[in-house]
């Protein structure tokens, strides 16, 4: 089952662009969490680089393994869940500085920054997004590896003499 070009292209571009969007959203309320994210940025950058490779190899190429393989829409769903969830983490992550104020883009929009109720709700939603993000990223990675193995086996089977 082949995935349409538009569907695959949009999912591939989302994998590349949405982590950057999440970082921009996080800059609405910068603070110490942003500093810690930068300290752990090698891990995040490796994950993002892997997403870019998956997008380029599996979704953006005309014969990409996630477009032409047997997985169907599963990798597309995983790509969109990963992409949207990372923006959700950036949107809901509570941050604050030395001035005692804290909040997230969500609490800023809701007018509940530096309140217990706003912080609690924002962190619950952030945690939910983080779990979806990690799970969908692993799901996407597994789908990509599985399709690479299946494509390799199919090429090997075709190359064997009858």
pLDDT (tens digit, 9 = 90+) per residue, 92-127?
Answer: 999 877 677 788 999 999 998 888 899 999 999 999
45-95 pLDDT, tens per residue?
899 999 999 999 999 998 899 988 788 899 999 999 999 999 999 999 998
CA-based radius of gyration for the chain: 19
Contacts of 146 (CB under 8 A, 6+ apart): 71
pLDDT of amino acid 107? 92
First to last CA, the chain: 26
Pairwise pLDDT comparison (54 vs 155), residue with the higher score? 54
Q: What tokens does 137 get?
A: 């990223």
**Side-chain half-sphere exposure of 72, counting CA atoms within 13 A:** 2
pLDDT of amino acid 162? 61
Has residue 2 got a pLDDT over 80?
Answer: no
DSSP states along the chain: -PPPHHHHHHHHHHHHHHHHHHHHHHTTS-SHHHHHHHHTHHHHHHHHHHHHHHIIIIIISTT-HHHHSTTTTHHHHHHHHHHHHHHHHHHH--EE-TTS-EE-HHHHHHT-TT-HHHHHHHHHHHHHHHHHHHHHHHHHHHHHHHHHHHHHHHHHHHHS--
Q: What is the pTM of this model?
A: 0.89
Reported as a pLDDT band with limits 50, 70 and 90, residue 158 is confident
Reported as a pLDDT band with limits 50, 70 and 90, residue 1 is low
pLDDT of amino acid 99? 72
How far from 12 is each of 24, 59, 67, 113, 156, CA to CA, in Å? 19, 5, 10, 34, 27
């Amino acid at each position: 089952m082949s995935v349409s070009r538009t569907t695959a292209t949009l999912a591939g571009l989302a994998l590349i662009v949405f982590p950057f969007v999440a970082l921009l959203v996080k800059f609405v309320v910068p603070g110490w969490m942003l500093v810690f994210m930068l300290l752990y940025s090698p891990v995040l950058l490796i994950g993002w680089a892997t997403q870019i490779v998956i997008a380029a190899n599996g979704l953006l190429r005309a014969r990409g393994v996630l477009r032409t393989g047997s997985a169907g829409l599963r990798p597309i769903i995983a790509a969109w869940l990963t992409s949207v969830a990372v923006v959700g983490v950036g949107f809901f992550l509570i941050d604050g500085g030395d001035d005692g104020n804290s909040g997230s883009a969500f609490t800023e929009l809701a007018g509940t920054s530096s309140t217990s109720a706003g912080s609690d709700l924002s962190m619950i939603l952030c945690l939910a997004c983080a779990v979806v993000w990690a799970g969908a990223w692993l799901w996407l990675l597994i789908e990509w590896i599985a399709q690479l193995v299946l494509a390799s086996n199919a090429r090997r089977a075709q190359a064997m003499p009858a």
